[in-house]
Amino acid sequence: MAALKKITLALVAAALTLAALLIGRTVRSASRQPIVAPASLIDVDAPGAAATLAGALRFKTVSNQDPTQLDASQFHGLADYIEQRFPHVHAALRRETVNDYSLVYTWPGRSSGKPILLLAHLDVVPVDAATESQWTQPPFDGVIADGYVWGRGALDDKNSVLAILEAVERMLANGEQPARPVILAFGHDEEVSGERGAAAIAARLKEQGVEPALVLDEGGTILMGLVPGLSAPVASIGTAEKGYLSVELKAQGAGGHSSIPPARTAIGVLSDAVHRLEEHPVPSNLSASMGVGFEYLGPEMVFPLRVVFANLWLFAPLVERTLAASPASNAAIRTTTAPTIFQGGVKDNQLPTAARAVINFRILPGETVATTLDHVRRTIDDPSVGVEALSGGSDPSPTSDIDSPAFAYLARTIRATNPDALVTPFLVLGATDARHYTDLSRNVFRFSPTRTKADDLTRFHGINERIAVADYAAMIQFYVELLRGLDGMK
């Protein structure tokens, strides 16, 4: 009994020590949110600005993997429309055209310091003809109704193009000039890799010796009610984006009549390979993706969750299991595996002589195209399955410096224009034009000042793309504040 009592006391003491440690670390997890006064925002003619955006949405600037299939008249029409609607911009800024359709504007600053580079893209994804009848408003009519601007590009990404131009036009009309040079770079093929647009612009700027102090593109938004444990909006600043790889798998078969099948057909062999890849994904890595974000948001969460995120040394396995249970959060902590194409066979009673599958991987920072290919080969472990990387693969982007003056300035500007929002770094799961500019600057960030609710998530590249008129006006206010305060960025 005495020994049992000692064991019990030891366990109680250990539990109390652990509890004290957890609470102590929680209390010491100080907020990382910048403290700034709310900005005095400019008045915006919201209906007028919305009408200008709506006009831009009427141009069907749909990008195409084959540049010869692109509708030049739509891109040239949009460029002419922009010139007409923003006369001060075209009188004061130098405009260049890159590869026929991309637009670059240069605005001299009051000093010759390092410029800032604002990115957006002119192109949009197509609309599936089978879904057009499901749109509340026609996707290319640029309709304003029910407090929204409706149409393809309203969220991705003509809203950014037009909001940036509106901000510059407003400042020029007031006789304002930024403290340092500003470059606006609007690519025309972001939706099909950006090689002729953003990549060509970046190469030209590099040849000119341009070293931006800040590069800002789309990628993150202000998330409304989408982060568990937080009621406040969350402004997510993308500091990196995942890599991209599509792998082709092939298996061969003898063919013949289906009445005398072998033990494993080409389709069966390939099915096993795909199944193994799905059952054995690349291991998750919390620290490579969301760890820094938890440092920013953990101190702002309700108490039980605050304890968890202040003590990831203990709770990381639990957090990873929880995140892995949801497709959206699982994609943030690992290289994802997505079978997207499966082909094989031509007739129901004929054995296939070949089968083909394509698996798409979005690669987590810290991993590469090479390590992902190695994972595929080791996991399949079948010499009868051919494995080949398709063209267009890319490693994850470098992670930008969140301790830089550029990140601090961006965070302060977001907080000044959105006082209710919390700021956090995060990993962009898709690809943006920003990745083409990482050779120019360590300070490449991805954030668009739009407010995203749960029902907006399917509108990107989906049905009923739209932006609230009030939210679009707030975008213009953000860009004005960002450009006006550049003398405060070291």
Active site residues: 123, 190
| Residue 141 near residue 132 (C-beta atoms within 8 A) | no
CA distance 174 to 107: 15
Quick one: three-class SS letters along the chain?
CHHHHHHHHHHHHHHHHHHHHHHHHHHHCCCCCCCCCCCCCCCCCHHHHHHHHHHHHCCCCECCCCHHHCCHHHHHHHHHHHHHHCHHHHHHCEEEEECCCEEEEEECCCCCCCCEEEEEECCECCCCHHHHHHCCCCCCCCEEECCEEECCCCCCCHHHHHHHHHHHHHHHHCCCCCCCCEEEEEECCHHHCCCCCHHHHHHHHHHCCCCCCEEEEEEEEEECCCCCCCCCCEEEEEEEECEEEEEEEEEECCCCECCCCCCCCHHHHHHHHHHHHHHCCCCCCHHHHCHHHHHHHHHHCCHHHHHHHHCHHHHHHHHHHHHHCCHHHHCCCCCEEEEEEEEECCCCCECCCEEEEEEEEEECCCCCHHHHHHHHHHHHCCCCEEEEECCCCECCCCCCCCCCHHHHHHHHHHHHHCCCCEEEEEEECCCCHHHHHCCCCCCEEEEEEEEECHHHCCCCCCCCCEEEHHHHHHHHHHHHHHHHCHHHCC
DSSP bridge pairs for 119: 185
Sign of the alpha-carbon dihedral angle for 429, 64, 452, 183: positive
Q: What whole-number distance in Å separates Cα of residue 5 and Cα of residue 477?
A: 67
